A and B are shown apart, each in its own frame.
Chain A
């Protein structure tokens, strides 16, 4: 019963928040059209797989991103360690 009460509370709050938005909301045509165009674009790109090595491109891009994120993390850790007195920071 107690958990049921909180579930109802959550349901009512969520429903109220969603009801604040217009009920007759419809996605604009440009948005749905954009999704369709994007799908066509992606499908056309995939159909050019004989020409473009998509797998290599994705691998290289992801590797660079991963390396960049990893490097950023290392720099952040070095910076944090540098804040500790006697470990590189001012004391």
Chain B
């Protein structure tokens, strides 16, 4: 008996569960009225968006960020400046063009997407976008920027254009590039009289003076190529003690964009009297130290500061714009990106991002201001520099006449929140009393019995033609509640146009986020959606790791590893630095200052700094010609040895037995 009961219950369950699953969507669809459509979508902005757009979405922020990444690369900035001036080299043109292809973002307007015929067609388009984009229009102008930006970096399969219209970004024109940071002069004025010293004392080495002239030709973080010149003059009389001739060394320090300080590039000037040792008496010497960017053996490095090492004193010189430079220079101004909205009545409002400086690795996008119920006629993105520099308009986007007309006529629709409503006169919405409006479209007196409205504004009844089949239960159940905007003929059910494919194509979502696990909108009529969406949610819950959790684990593991023996050893090993191009000429600096402190050496060394440079062979150094000769000889020897080694290896591998072969 018990077995019979169990079998009966099982049978009942087998029938009931599928029945519930099947009936549920039907019940839902039968009881649901189609959602009213949104306002007509119009072209808010012209078809080509220029420059950085306000921070309305991650997409546009990314676009701005890409532009500013270029700005952070001084070489590219210089290339652009040169291109504008018509002085760019072929390499610079290629460099700038390649960069433009990276940050250029293609843009279009809504119009070419799926705009139908007539005014009602625009309403239908609006519904499609509004329902599918989900968040509808952005918080500002009733438009989701993602729907107007054709971002080629996201790939065609993820681009909204491709999703809706089967189009790719390819037919659209590229975004126009602009030169950021135009307010910054590459070599800013005000070089003179900053932090340059004169008259280095000679100390015990002699009498007279050594003067370091004003460094010229370089600014802080100046992009290559550049040529920097420091002129040193020395005159006086040095002592003939053999150890402490007057000397002045110029050392250039460079820094990578990452902040790492690099090795120094140095040159030294010593009075000619020293060279004539022991006849070190009167001297008169002028030395120009010239360093060009191609001598800096580190890609992307920029001059950080210069140190003048004299016999007695040491002085650092910082270029204008350096954080340690004296005040009064502005090569690294504080900047703010602003979003300025100009309204049709002539007034304007400005929203700002957080301040940042040119040398910051990141920037802060602006937030556009509230529209205050007015009609915007123009959007501008402005790069504002504090300190009196002229504002630079990065982007200027006038709104279209179509958009202005709509916002002027239907201001309550400007946020995209108003809905197209069909009213059964005197004052009953068809979305409230569905049965009353079932045959409204065939009502011969419909012009007298019904009214079409956007928000509170009445519009032509033809605007509601799209609702022709919307209030008949059979159309709702069949999944075709909307009509052709022109004829009113029921449109095919979305279930027949690949919605199942869309459901399968949904991207993986964050399980921590709020998700739609059941169909909405047109998806309500799609049985596949009723299966796919819950299953997707369940599988995401089961298999997609929580980003928050993954990040927490990563941070914890990074910290644990960093504190471990392996982490410490890896950090120490990573500190080994190999220069990109080992072509220095400053020789080996030996620090022998410890000798001076020895009791036996007391008084012997005088003011000698304790540093000896061996084998320095830069331009102007005595050993320069010898270094060149040695370099040439060594090159020949190494090439000859390498050739012999290659022959030896070939003989081993292929049995080569010609000249130079082994055995």
Contacts and interface: CB of A to CB of B under 8 A. Distances in A.
- Best-surrounded residue of A18, A51, A64, A72 (most CB of chain B within 10 A): A51
Contacts of B541: 1
A49 B630 CA distance: 11
B628 A49 contact: no
Nearest to A3: B545
Interface string B413-425: 0000000000000
B582 A14 contact: no
Contacts of A7: 545, 549-550, 553
Interface string B564-578: 111011001101111
B96 interface: no
B241 interface: no
B645 A64 contact: yes
Contacts of A26: 568
Contacts of A79: none
A56 interface: yes
Contacts of B581: 49, 55
State the majority secondary structure of interface residues on A.
helix
Contacts of B557: 11, 14-15
A57 B628 contact: no
Given A48-B588, A63-B646, A71-B649, A27 B631 contact: no
B585 interface: yes
Most chain A Cβ neighbours within 10 Å, of B297, B582, B618, B653:
B582
Contacts of B645: 60, 64
Interface stretch (B213-221, B402-410, B467-475, B632-640): B632-640
A86 interface: no
B564 A50 contact: no
Given A4-B545, A42-B579, A55-B583, A50 B618 contact: yes
B628 A42 contact: no
B582 A46 contact: yes
A47 interface: yes
Given A2-B543, A39-B575, A39-B577, A53 B564 contact: no
A35 interface: yes
Contacts of B579: 42-43, 46
A91 interface: no
Interface string A24-53: 011100011001001100111111111111
Contacts of A44: 588-589
B578 A27 contact: no
Question: Interface residues of B: mostly helix, strand, loop or mixed?
Answer: helix
Given A50-B618, A64-B646, A35 B572 contact: yes
A67 B649 contact: yes
Contacts of A1: 541-542
A72 B650 CA distance: 11
Contact of A25 (B549, B564, B586, B618): B564
Nearest to A71: B653
Nearest to B644: A64
B564 A21 contact: yes
A47 B587 contact: yes
A46 B297 contact: yes
B635 A53 contact: yes
Nearest to B583: A49
A74 interface: yes
Contacts of A27: 568-569, 572
B617 A31 contact: no
A71 B652 contact: yes
12 contacts: A15-B556, A15-B560, A23-B563, A26-B568, A46-B582, A46-B584, A50-B583, A50-B618, A54-B583, A55-B581, A55-B582, A61-B642
Given A51-B630, A60-B642, 12 more contacts: A7-B550, A11-B557, A35-B572, A39-B576, A42-B576, A49-B297, A49-B582, A49-B583, A50-B583, A51-B617, A53-B631, A72-B653
Interface of B: 263, 297, 541-546, 549-550, 553, 556-557, 560-561, 563-566, 568-569, 572-573, 575-579, 581-589, 615, 617-618, 624, 627-628, 630-631, 634-635, 638-639, 641-642, 645-646, 649-650, 652-654
Q: Which 3 pairs show the lowest CB-CB distances between chains A and B? A: A71-B653, A60-B642, A46-B582
